[in-house]
Amino acid sequence: MGRRSKKEIEEITDLPGIGPQTAEKLRAAGYTTIESIATASPAEIAMISGISEAQAAKFIAAARAALDLGEVETAYEFLQRRKQVRKITTGCKALDDMLDGGIETGTITEVYGPYGSGKTQLCHQLSVTVQLPEERGGLGKGAFYIDTEHTFRPERIVQIAKAFELDPMEALKNILYARAFNTDHQVLITDKAEEYIKSRNIGLLIVDSLISHFRGEYVGRETLAERQQRLNKYIHKLLRMASVYNIGVLVTNQVLANPGIYYGDPLSPAGGHVLGHGVTCRLYIRRTKGDRRVIKLVKSPYLPESSIEVAITESGIAAVE
């Protein structure tokens, strides 16, 4: 987490056993950094580059050594690493309180809810608040925004930035934006994002929405297993990036209606167990009346389940009295 590679190994071609041809194949598949090699498996590297698994294992080990990514560590080292986990303020006090300070780095935070509930609004807001200086709860870093639904609005960023007393033009410049047209493209852009995370000081990766293309491309029961497999792979890619670069990852998800539920909420998050297990923190947002929303913390490893009421206002998602 946040570990720097040793001086002498900076490019993947610096690793022993990666020649120019192998490097080219790896780069084309999105393995552009030492981190991406260090956290890959020999089998996937072998499949992509056509070299043997034994050869791949050698330079994966070299990449891990360069990054000091040992698999075994003492509990003390683990605690030191935990201490590097940061919180990104949401800009809404009630929501921050519920999340014990905001969205965590190193893991995936998911927000799910029905149409118009405010998921995209929350994404806009976080892409601004991550830029706030540390003393105001931000990281003083930029955001990388992957938009699969074409609902990103720079004008809204301007409004929210003003509300947080940030220079709106600077706020816009600190958000890297990319549209994803289908699942393949979404994966490709996510790989690309990895280069920017390093070079452009990115503190938060947003995927709004994580699942829409997957749901759109894999329709029907017979494709479900394949979809879940790909989704799983994608979520692990996000998890790896969150952990290796110690950044926040915020994803949005849709809901499924469960007919036949006669008590409680008939809506459940899409994506099944694959998504449920992959995300560390899960928020459910729903509309109540007018601009009012209820946000419920439904999953967290150490925070209690609870919910708050907020309002979507001109200046963003705000607490209500």
- For binding to ligand GTP (CB under 6 A), which residues are involved? 113, 115-121, 149, 151, 156, 291, 312-314
Is 253 near Mg ion (CB under 5 A)? Answer: no
SS (H, E, C) the chain: CCCCCCCCCCCHHHCCCCCHHHHHHHHHCCCCCHHHHHCCCHHHHHHHHCCCHHHHHHHHHHHHHHHCCCCCCCHHHHHHHHCCCCEECCCCHHHHHHCCCCEECCCEEEEECCCCCCHHHHHHHHHHHCCCCHHHCCCCCEEEEEECCCCCCHHHHHHHHHHCCCCHHHHHHCEEEEECCCHHHHHHHHHHHHHHHHHCCEEEEEEECCCHHHHHHCCCHHHHHHHHHHHHHHHHHHHHHHHHHCCEEEEEECEEECCCCCCCCCEEECCHHHHHHHCCEEEEEEECCCCEEEEEEEECCCCCCEEEEEEEECCEEEECC
Task: State the binding partner of 213 from ligand GTP, Mg ion, none, CB within 5 to 8 A by kind.
Answer: none
* Smallest distance, ligand GTP to C-beta of residue 286, A: 9
In terms of CB distance, is 66 or 285 closer to Mg ion? 285
* Smallest distance, ligand GTP to C-beta of residue 211, A: 11
Among 105, 120, 212, 300, binds Mg ion (CB under 5 A): 120
Interacting span for Mg ion (CB under 5 A) from 8-16, 54-62, 148-156, 236-244: 148-156
In terms of CB distance, is 159 or 232 closer to ligand GTP? 159
In terms of CB distance, is 112 or 245 closer to Mg ion? 112
* Smallest distance, ligand GTP to C-beta of residue 179, A: 14
* Smallest distance, Mg ion to C-beta of residue 208, A: 6
In terms of CB distance, is 130 or 285 closer to Mg ion? 285
In terms of CB distance, is 151 or 268 closer to ligand GTP? 151
* Smallest distance, Mg ion to C-beta of residue 85, A: 27
Task: State the binding partner of 154 from ligand GTP, Mg ion, none, CB within 5 to 8 A by kind.
Answer: none
Residues in contact with Mg ion by the rule CB under 5 A: 119-120, 151
